[in-house]
Structure 1
Amino acid sequence: MCYVGTPASIHYGTGSIHGYFSEDQVTIGDLVVNNQEFIEATHEPGLTFLAAKFDGILGLGFKEISVEGANPVWYNMIQQNLVTEKVFSFWLNRNAYDMNGGEIVFGGADTNHYKGSHTYTRVTRKAYWQFEMGDFLIGGKSTGICVDGCAAIADSGTSLIAGPIAAIAQIHAQIGATGVANEECKEVVAGHGHKLLELLQDKTPPAQVCSKIGLCEFDGTHGISAGIDSVLGETHKSADDVSDATCNACEMAVSWMQSEFVQNQTKEGKLEYANRLCDNMPSPVGSYVDCRHIDSLQNVAFSIGGRAFELTPEQYILKFGEGFLAHCMSGFTALDIPPPIGPLWILGDVFMGAYHTIFDYGNMRVGFADSA
């Protein structure tokens, strides 16, 4: 329990708020939630909130991660018997010209906004709404990404689809998205590529390869990209940005080289592949696609709960402007989340816009169906 007047702060993927706990009635639609604890913000540093067209953030994750153990609005709705079903659902309208931006339903789901039935997958961790995701496909073919399973969350507070840097670079290479070429990545491949391959061939665990040659201080991926609008967690920054960049570049190169072992390529072929992917390393400010080539891109798909959830190029490429002023941005962005929370994929608005989402608290599961 938190007490009114207690100082509190939250650090998001972009931006933060500082203030103190207050308590009041909260009205959502025709529901009135009594004695709701919330943080009354007195300081909101950063451009995110300065440019925002909203007045606050409504957290719908689990109480296990709430600040000071405060009771989230959703928990109070259940405890005060304001909902008949312990579920809430999202429909996000991706038509930017429609006045109706979307809908959230507490206590059920609006059948007007989905087609068919939902495919459910169980919650694997009570923090964010986390579940197990399977293989990632491009053009109906496995990429090898998540073939052994990946942790993922559905998060309406994240604009794009976020995944580990190495995986997103592979995706961008296949869809032709280009960011800022990372010279650090190319230097690692040129200066240490042969040694990296030798360690992999000697069955050194991939997570330990970069630390063995002194390019990483720790065993495993670390660091977080700040180039994503997300309400996920707190960002951490290394005290040594140069070392951190070299480590990230090394870990990506190892990931790519490892994926090429199954292709029976020569040593030089593996190095050439890794060097080529350096050009597709995601940029912190977004990666762009030639708008003229969208029609030639293939569908991508996420395997969840035994179903392949497809996204068309029109759904995973974001287009801004028209005619010669148009520019197109990839709906995928890189975000390396360190353990124990990560590695983690975040299926944000790009995914949830295509698929109506039910968060089933009563049965601890998440469900997806085609949006309508």
Structure 2
Amino acid sequence: MGIKCLLLLICFWALSGSVSTTSSDGLVRISLKKRPLDLKNINAARITSREVLHPRGLSSTDSNFDDLQSNIVYLKNYLDTQYYGEIGIGTPEQIFTVVFDTGSSNLWVPSSRCIFSIACYIHSKYRARLSRTYSKIGIHCKIPYGSGSISGFFSQDNLKVGDFIIKDQVGYNMVEQRHLSQQIFSLWLNRDPTSQLGGEIVFGGIDWRRFRGDHTYIPLTQQDYWQIKVGDILIGNNSTGLCEYGCAAIVDSGTSLLAGPTAVVAQINHAIGAAGVMSLECKTVVSKYGNMIWEYLIEGIRPDVVCVDIGLCLHNISQFVSAGISSIVQNGTREGSSVDESASCTFCEMIVFWIQVQLKQQKTKEKLCERLPNPMGKSFIDCDNIAAMPYISFTIGNKSFPLSPEQYTLRVEESCTTVCLSGFVGLDVPPPQGPLWVLGDIFLGAYHTIFDFGNLRVGFANAA
């Protein structure tokens, strides 16, 4: 399946449009605007994973729908999306505000035939009968997201991006119709909260003003997503262990947060002093299996098999799925398994890696659960301590990409006060697709990013 170069998702909210320009060098620049985050949106944000069966009726369609046929996709709630721009659909054009989302390949808008949804009444709707270039496809679809799903049908029309009109609405047609001189687009997100300009996406090239130094390029490992391989994640100079030999990562402009394996996120949130403690399940696992886990690790048993050996995790998650049944992993709970069993597995995996860190630092296991923050809940931190917090570094392409405390924390204005939160949230995706990281706007705000669909790679450089 070929990579889709233009990855868009329509926002559910109506916002003022952005400015798009086409320069003399043939580049299309879309100025992005930024919607401020608040606690309501942070609380609503969810990133989960789900087993998805092949949608009925799509198996014989073209590769543009292949992403709906993936075995496991990660889901997110777009209430936490901050950056948006403007496009036109149809002839004459109908204007919509969109998220330029590299984590999704579907472009959808509310239809004029949508009459049973409140959201459709308060947002712009696409009216096919008003477009001279509309073509009916009519295949019905259902697309899952972290906060639910949308149902509809596929259609085809022209898409306007900047001053370019892309016929037949397929992103790669920007190249085939000679709108772009290079098969790339680049993304710069402005993390300055006082600036009117939220960022910029450039189709066909790069803006040299938006980065410093050279880009480090990493090949894609999947063509369904902008997915790459990351190595170890460091807290200061200390390894977190789980991704030492590699984890998958999706470069996703459509989410504000950094999501990753609970075992690592718990270590990070503990190191930065995030408030909150683990639930009763953690204490249950430690009381019953803590000594056994400790001894297993001392004996040299690999951390990734400890929880399987003691019987808290299944070796092959696929046995949860039978024909016609979808197994869901949502906030650490699989549908078809008991809550206690799934929670125990999640906490066991997290505790194993935490104990491994304690062993390396020659520490003891007393009061383990009281010391671990809750990676799935709100992770508040003391705003006054941000400057003293450690750097968190991602190893990508044998190079370190550090994030400063100011870069990986969120400052939210709430009731005339400032609340600070960790930008890391837990996301557990089982092998072989996982462990998985989602590099959202927190990471992309620190690093100017080139999406090179001609050479199937992604490039990062320090953002200016």
TM-score of the superposed pair, with normalisation by structure 1:
0.78
Equivalent residue, structure 1, for 2:366: 272
Pairwise CA distance, 1:261: 4.1
Identify the residue that residue 183 of structure 1 maps to in structure 2. Answer: 280
Once the two structures are TM-superposed, the CA of residue 339 in structure 1 deviates from its matched residue by 2.5
The alignment status of 1:345 with 2:437, answered yes or no, reads: yes
The size of the alignment, in residue pairs, is 323
Q: In the TM superposition, what is the alpha-carbon distance from 1:322 to its structure 2 partner? A: 7.4
Of residues 126, 140, 144, the one that matches 1:11 is 144
Distance 2:305 2:213 in 1: 46
Q: Partner letter of residue 11 of structure 1?
A: P
Shift of 1:83: 1.3
Match of 2:230 among 133, 142, 161: 133
Equivalent position amino acid for 1:281 in 2: N
* Contact 2:232/2:239 (8 A) holds in 1: yes
Corresponding position: 1:20 with 2:117? no
The alignment status of 1:283 with 2:344, answered yes or no, reads: no
Gaps of 5+ in 2: 1-60, 63-135, 319-326
Alpha-carbon distance in structure 2 between the residues aligned to 1:346 and 1:90: 16
Report deviation, 1:204.
4.5
Once the two structures are TM-superposed, the CA of residue 239 in structure 1 deviates from its matched residue by: 4.2
Q: Distance in 2 between matches of 1:281 and 1:28?
A: 42
Q: Is the 8 A contact 2:230 2:249 kept in 1?
A: yes
Aligned residue for 1:320, secondary structure, equals strand
| Aligned alpha-carbon RMSD (Å) | 2.7
Q: Structure 1: how far apart are the matches of 2:401 and 2:355?
A: 28
Counterpart CA distance in 2 for 1:82 and 1:236 is: 46
C-alpha separation in 2, matches of 1:207 and 1:314: 32
* 1:161-176 matched pairs, under 5 angstroms: 161-176=258-273
CA contact (8 A) 2:231 2:247 kept: yes
Distance 2:366 2:347 in 1: 15
CA distance in structure 2 between the aligned counterparts of 1:333 and 1:83, rounded to whole angstroms? 37
Which position in structure 2 is the counterpart of 1:43?
Answer: none
2:167 counterpart SS class: strand
Distance 2:349 2:336 in 1: 16
What CA distance in whole angstroms lies between the structure 2 residues aligned with 1:306 and 1:205?
24
Q: 1:301 to 1:208 in 2, by over 3 A?
A: closer
Higher normalized helix content (fraction of residues):
1
- Give the distance between the partners of 2:241 and 2:217, measured in 1 at CA: 23
Inter-CA distance 178–306: structure 2 relative to 1 (3 Å threshold): same
Q: 1:143 to 1:336 in 2, by over 3 A?
A: closer
8 Å contact kept, 2:282–2:347: yes
Q: Determine if contact 2:232/2:244 at 8 Å carries over to the other structure.
A: yes
Q: Tell me, what secondary structure is at the counterpart of 2:384?
A: helix
Structure 2 CA distance for aligned equivalents of residues 307 and 216 of structure 1:
33
Secondary structure of 2:431's partner?
coil
Aligned to 2:56: none
Deviation of 1:150 after TM superposition, in Å, equals 2.3
How far the C-alpha of 1:104 sits from its partner, in A, is 1.2
Give the letter for the 1:22 counterpart.
Answer: S
Q: Distance in 2 between matches of 1:273 and 1:219?
A: 32
Q: In 2, distance between residues paired with 1:238 and 1:75?
A: 40
Structure 1 residue 272, shift from structure 2 partner: 2.5
Task: Assess if the C-alpha contact under 8 Å between 1:160 and 1:332 holds in 2.
Answer: yes
Structure 2 CA distance for aligned equivalents of residues 324 and 295 of structure 1: 22
Q: Read off the aligned partner of 2:194 and give its amino acid letter.
A: Y
Q: 1:236 to 1:23 in 2, by over 3 A?
A: farther
2:173 aligned residue (61, 76, 80)? 76
Contact 1:164 / 1:345 at 8 angstroms: preserved in 2? yes
Letter in 2 for 1:186: K
**1:246: which partner in 2?**
344
CA distance in 2 between counterparts of 1:339 and 1:145 reads 13
* Contact 1:196–1:209 (Cα < 8 Å) also in 2: yes
5+ unaligned residues in a row in structure 1: which ranges? 37-72, 228-234
The aligned residue for residue 322 of structure 2 is: none
* 8 Å Cα contact 1:9-1:17 kept in structure 2: yes
Assess if the C-alpha contact under 8 Å between 2:139 and 2:154 holds in 1: yes
The residue aligned with 1:115 is: 212
1:311-335 deviation line (CA, Å, top 9, x unaligned): 1111111011279721101011110
Residue 364 (str. 1) matches residue 436 (str. 2): no
| Alpha-carbon distance between aligned partners in 2 of 1:216 and 1:164, rounded to the nearest angstrom | 15
Distance 2:282 2:385 in 1: 27
Q: How far 1:120 sits from its partner (Å)?
A: 1.2
Alignment correspondent of 1:197: 294
Q: Matches of 2:304 and 2:402 in 1, distance apart?
A: 31
Give the equivalent residue in structure 2 for 1:39: none
Cα separation, partners in 2 of 1:19 and 1:319, compared to 1, 3 Å = same
* Alpha-carbon spacing, 1:156–1:273, altered in 2? closer, same or farther (3 Å): farther
Distance in 2, matches of 1:27 and 1:219, equals 46
- The 2-side partners of 1:33 and 1:126 are apart by 22
Does 2:368 correspond to 1:306? no
CA deviation after TM superposition for structure 1 residue 274, in Å = 4.1
Amino acid of the residue matched to residue 133 of structure 1? V
Shift of 1:276: 4.6
Cα distance in 2 for partners of 1:100, 1:236 equals: 41
Confirm or deny: 8 A CA contact 1:92 1:101 kept in the other structure.
yes
Match of 2:53 in 1: none
Structure number with the bigger relative contact order (C-alpha 8 A, sep ≥ 6) is 1
What is the aligned partner in structure 2 of residue 147 from structure 1? 244
